[in-house]
Amino acid sequence: MDKRLRILGTRGVPAAHGGFETFAERLSLYLAGRGWKVTVYCQEDGKGPMFEDTWEGVSRVHFPVAARGPAGTIVFDWKATRHAARSSELCLTLGYNTAAFAALLRWKSIPNVFNMDGIEWARAKWSLPAKAWLWMNDWAACWLGNQLVADHPEIKRRLSSRVRATKIAMIPYGAELIENADPAPLAPLGLAPGRFLTLIARAEPENSILEVVTAFSRKPRGCTLAVLGKYDQSKAYHRAVKAAPSDEVKFLGAIYDKTTLRALRGHCLAYIHGHRVGGTNPSLVEALGAGNPVLAHDNCFNRWVAGDGARYFADTEQCAARLDEMLASPELLGSMAEASRRRFFEAFQWDDVLAQYETLLSGQLRDSVGLGPPGYDPLTGLPDRRLFARRLDRAMERAQQQDDYRFAVCFIDLDGFKAINDSFGHLVGDRVLCEVSRRLVGCIQPGDVAARYGGDEFIIFLDDLRNEAEAELVARRILDRLQSPIAIDGREVTAKASVGVALSSTDCRRSHDLLHRADRAMYRAKSLGGGQWAIFDQK
């Protein structure tokens, strides 16, 4: 299979502007190193003809654009889309701001995957006409894309109200692990290692910068708040933020130098994240990769990303109180830092994220030539046993490196499914399997994986368990959900199951062996009469 990809929707590579550019750089280099022919479209300022070159094995197509701001982006995106439409290569469009242009790709039957970014049209900075444009293109991406990628479970949930859930893959943003960063770039900024907090965000109201600066400046803190971002005195909000700080706040401007950013990440006392709108924000994930204690605005997006180990605030008063609490306790900051690092390893390592993208993109390539999507069951849309095994292998590797990491596998077999097929036919049986799949997905948490093993058998990976009781709770939940009849064409069908659970163990180091244990536990549950669950016991 000829593996070719064109990446649209960013300013180009190497990254020099934001999260999408960083992602485009990471993905293009990763895929190029694995034999893909990758082309990235790059926006240049000014006038002139289109030109092409190569960077680090990645092909680049450059379009100079004279217009600035959103108008320039629209012109560039249209030129890039027209150029991509001349080929038949798979496209990955990062963001939906000009998704209507993808009608050209759709018309030419060119497969296109949309990364849906956050809820851009909800941002306060946009005028009503701009919000209408973004909202329209949000819907256009749902209709025109062959596949959608959501970087957060909440984004996927919202998109599922527009398109079928199997059309949406949830793949978060990634970050690098930062350890032993060189502190040298801090001195020119007037910062000392371990004596400052960072706030990295665009200067917009929905990023809570005024609230954070005001809360920090309520009293002397004995440390510095380093605020990164571009500020323009002609803008009222920017002036308000710049008028609020105490002498302990430093505005460092926009910084894109990677070495300096690593130093700021690697040596800060804590990271403050005020974003209220969006999915998996790159700045927050990067803070987790650096092991920063996190103080974040309290919303569903930030809570899923940062987890229970972070602290949260809803307003200026709560932000000030959380700062008081954190800065008064080195022990608390230490435990928060450990929690951030754990959350990073759970979900946001670049290798895992990029591997998920390659699997998804390979599936789109196979779909385009009629081979069917690899790694996913064509009936239920769940991962298949091979993709499941890859996830389980990664968990096995992590368990060998991290002594306190625990996980489990559940093996589920439907009781009496053959009778359903015999009585009602295979079409009804297929619909039952799809409904069972939906219910199983509803039994698990983000980070867990439900997959179809084959026939009427399913497997579930339970990630990062604290104890055996958590696995037992999921097994009970599965049996409870499957007890409810399934309504199909005026008839009710019940699909009960037997569930076997195998917990990770130091004496079980191969994925196949753990699956075998779960399978044995499932047969033990079936021997009890069906509709039961059992945990593997080596005795």
- Do 241 and 345 meet the contact criterion of CB atoms below 8 Å apart? no
> Which helix or strand (DSSP H or E) is residue 170 part of?
strand 168-170
Q: How much is the pLDDT for 377?
A: 82
Domains 4-170 and 375-535 belong to one CATH topology: no
- Give percent of the chain with pLDDT exceeding 70: 96
Radius of gyration of the chain (CA): 25
Q: How much is the pLDDT for 16?
A: 75
Q: How much is the pLDDT for 295?
A: 98
Residue 356, exposed/middle/buried by CB under 10 A (0-12, 13-18, 19+)? buried
Q: What digits encode the pLDDT tens for the residues 381-434? A: 788 888 898 899 999 988 888 888 999 999 999 998 988 888 877 777 888 898
- CATH class, domain 375-535, is alpha beta
Assign 122 a pLDDT band (cuts: 50, 70, 90): low
Q: Give domain limits for the chain.
A: 4-170, 184-347, 375-535
How far is C-alpha 240 from the geometric centre of its chain's CA atoms? Answer: 33
**Three-class DSSP category at 444:** coil
Q: How much is the pLDDT for 372?
A: 44
The whole-chain average pLDDT of the chain stands at 90
Lowest-confidence region among 8-12, 166-170, 276-280, 375-379: 375-379
Report residue 191: phi and psi, to 5°: -120, 150
Average pLDDT over residues 347-374: 75
- Amino acid identity, residue 370? G
**Three-class DSSP category at 51:** strand
Q: In angstroms, what CA-CA distances link 507 with 177, 449, 504, 513, 538? A: 29, 23, 9, 10, 11
Helices (H), 42-127: 69-84, 103-107
Q: How much is the pLDDT for 370?
A: 44
Higher pLDDT, 18 or 355: 355
Statement: residue 535 has pLDDT above 70? yes
Q: What digits encode the pLDDT tens for the residues 60-83? A: 999 999 998 889 999 999 999 999
Statement: residue 373 has pLDDT above 60? no
Fold of 4-170: Rossmann fold (3.40.50)
- Name which of 149, 144, 163 is nearest 106 in CA terms: 144
Assign 123 a pLDDT band (cuts: 50, 70, 90): low
Residue 484 neighbours by CB distance under 10 Å: 12
How far is C-alpha 168 from the geometric centre of its chain's CA atoms? Answer: 12
- Do 246 and 217 meet the contact criterion of CB atoms below 8 Å apart? yes
In the block, residue with structure tokens 């229970």: 308
- Do 353 and 289 meet the contact criterion of CB atoms below 8 Å apart? no
Q: In angstroms, what CA-CA distances link 108 with 82, 86, 112, 167? A: 11, 9, 11, 20
Structure-token pair, residue 291: 């092991």
Q: How much is the pLDDT for 313?
A: 98
Structure-token pair, residue 44: 């240049």
Provide long-range contacts, Cβ within 8 A and 24+ apart, for 26-31.
Answer: 26/174, 26/350, 26/354, 27/92, 27/354, 27/357, 28/58, 29/56, 29/57, 29/58, 30/350, 30/354, 30/358, 31/3, 31/5, 31/354, 31/358, 31/361
**Three-class DSSP category at 27:** helix
> Which helix or strand (DSSP H or E) is residue 354 part of?
helix 350-368
Rounded Cα–Cα distance for residues 529 and 524 (Å): 9
Average pLDDT over residues 472-476: 94
Rounded Cα–Cα distance for residues 386 and 491 (Å): 35
Rounded Cα–Cα distance for residues 503 and 409 (Å): 7
Q: What digits encode the pLDDT tens for the residues 216-262? A: 999 999 999 999 999 999 999 999 999 999 999 999 999 988 899 99
Statement: residue 374 has pLDDT above 60? no
Average pLDDT over residues 352-370: 77
Residue 428, exposed/middle/buried by CB under 10 A (0-12, 13-18, 19+)? middle
Q: How much is the pLDDT for 469?
A: 92
Rounded Cα–Cα distance for residues 39 and 53 (Å): 10
- Amino acid identity, residue 139? W
Q: How much is the pLDDT for 100?
A: 95
Which architecture, in CATH terms, is 184-347?
3-Layer(aba) Sandwich (3.40)
Residues sharing a CB contact under 8 Å with residue 301, sequence separation 6 or more, in sequence order? 118, 152, 154, 275, 277, 278, 279, 280, 281
Q: What digits encode the pLDDT tens for the residues 181-212? A: 999 999 999 999 999 999 999 899 999 999 99
> What is the DSSP code (8-state) at residue 165?
G
Q: What digits encode the pLDDT tens for the residues 15-71? A: 876 678 999 999 999 999 999 999 999 999 999 999 999 999 999 999 999 998 889
